[in-house]
Structure formats: C-alpha cells, structure tokens
Amino acid sequence: MTELAAQPVAGRPSALRSFVDFYATTMRTTIQTQFQYRAAMYGYTIGMVAEPTIYLVVWTTIANSHGGAVDGVGPHAFAAYYIVWTFVRVMNIVFTPYGWEWRIREGQLSGQLLRPIHPIHYDLAWFAGQKVPWLVMYAPIAVGLSLVFHPSFHTSALGVVVFLVAIWGAYLIRSLNQFWLGMFTIFTTRVGAIFQVWFLAELLLSGRLLPLPLMPQWTQELAAWLPFKWTFYFPIEALVGNLSNAALLRGLGFQALWAAILGAVAVGAWRLAVRHYSAVGN
C-alpha cells in the first residue's frame, strides 16, 4: 500500500482562485450543455421574446387609444421598458423551487450534499452560464424590436453602470429567494400551490407584468416593502433612464440589503432542511 491517499492533495490552489475556477468551469459546462439543446434554446428564446412583445403590443394599443399615453407613459416609453425587460428576465432565470422536487427524487441532491461546495454556488454558476448564449441570441432580436417600436431611452452613464451591477444583484436576490422557497420541498412534497401564490405576487409586485407606476398606489406601497421590485423594475428603470442618480444608488443599496436578508434566510432554511433530509430511495 502506498501512502498517497493518506495525504491531502498537495499544492491545492488558494480558496479564492478555486472559487473563481469553480464558477468559470461550471459556466463553461453549462454553455456546452446549452449547445447540445439547440432546438430548446431557440424555443426558449422565442418564448422569452413573446411575453414582453405581447405586453408591449397591448400597452402600445392602449396608449394609442388613450390619446398616446397611459398615466403619462407613451408607446416609446413602453417599448424601452419591455425591450430591457427581456434582458432582465434572462438574467432573472434561476433554479426554480419546483426543481427541488426533481432534485430530491432523482438523487441529485444527495450527490450535491456529498460535494465540498454549497449547492447554491452550483446553481448560481450554472444559471449564470446559461445566460451567455441566451443574451447573445437576444441581442439581435432587441435591435429588431427597437427598429419596429422606436424605444425612448434617457440613459445616463451612471444608469448604465448601475444597470450592469443591478442585473447581477437581481439575479442574486431572485436565486436566494427561490432557494429558500425550494427548501419547503424537503419538508413536504407537492408544494406547488405555495409556489404559485409566490409567483403571482412576484408577477404583480415586481414590474414584470407592467411598470409599477401604472399599478394602484397601495400596490406600489406594498411593493416597496418586498424584494420583488429590485429584481425587475429597478434594473429596467436604471437603463431606461427614469431614475435620479440618488434613486439609482439607493436602489443598489436596497438590493444589497435584500441580498443580505435573503442570504441569511437561505442559510437558515438550508440548515434546517438538511437536518430533516431523509434521502429515501436514492
């Protein structure tokens, strides 16, 4: 017998370097996997474009029938909102709570628990990689939509910078949100109904369905106390250019706050869930 295995692997890279390497490798793996599913990728892209295009056509029609604007928002402003919306939506695609059921049933969670890295990192890296081909595919579509709908942007340099940070902040917030929500699956099966309520709230209070200023006042006040608007409305508005510099920086601050709160919730939920995990059947 040799003593090779009795020693830890020598010359292990530093923690930070390994961390970056893990994210880069996982993202590369995701992109390769995406390329295996060309038809699915085209399908997702069409689906991704269809939703905002429908909203855009509907609101443009309503605006035109109301003398050119709805509550001061005209067709070109709607065009800007929903074209950026799609970029933000792509950034907001994360591992859904529904996926946890599959993950447990197929034994994938057991496999992940045996790895010396927290599953949230795997999810963050995996879905970050997924965005690359989608964003590349959406870019020419956005140009086409711009030529048809003539969006009006009032973007500042600070707005662009904040947008580039905010879309990753949105990604982190939404990932953490859905991560802790997914923990319900470890305690009980068939939790789809809970998720549906959550997603409905998100649809209405995030700016996904329509710009928040078009919602009733009480809805806007409620949205201010929840994390959803920082994942859709805020990054969209940062690029469209309707926020002051102070509002842009305050928005990043709120994103950081929500990321910290949801990070703590996710860690707590994870610890409870892992203790409860029964790994039955796989």
For binding to other proteins (CB under 8 A), which residues are involved? 1-6, 8-13, 18, 21-22, 24-26, 29, 32-33, 36-37, 107-108, 110-111, 113-117, 274-275, 277-280, 282
CB of 280 to other proteins, least distance (A): 8
- Cβ pair 22, 125 in contact under 8 A: yes
CB of 29 to other proteins, least distance (A): 5
Kindly tell me which of 5 and 246 has the beta carbon lying closer to other proteins: 5
CB of 1 to other proteins, least distance (A): 4
Kindly tell me which of 8 and 140 has the beta carbon lying closer to other proteins: 8
CB of 282 to other proteins, least distance (A): 6
Kindly tell me which of 189 and 196 has the beta carbon lying closer to other proteins: 189
Comparing CA positions, the residue from 163, 183, 164, 206 lying closest to residue 262 is 183
Kindly tell me which of 8 and 67 has the beta carbon lying closer to other proteins: 8
Cα-Cα-Cα-Cα dihedral sign, residues 49, 52, 58, 63: negative
CB of 175 to other proteins, least distance (A): 19
**Helices and strands counted in the chain (H then E):** 12, 0
CB of 109 to other proteins, least distance (A): 9
DSSP character at residue 227: S
Burial 121-144 (b: 16+ CB within 10 A, else e): ebbbbbbbbbbebbeebbeebbee
How many Å apart are CA 203 and CA 209, to the nearest integer? Answer: 6
243-248 — which CB contacts under 8 Å span 24+ positions? Answer: 243/159, 245/156, 245/158, 248/158, 248/159, 248/162
Kindly tell me which of 111 and 144 has the beta carbon lying closer to other proteins: 111
Kindly tell me which of 147 and 280 has the beta carbon lying closer to other proteins: 280
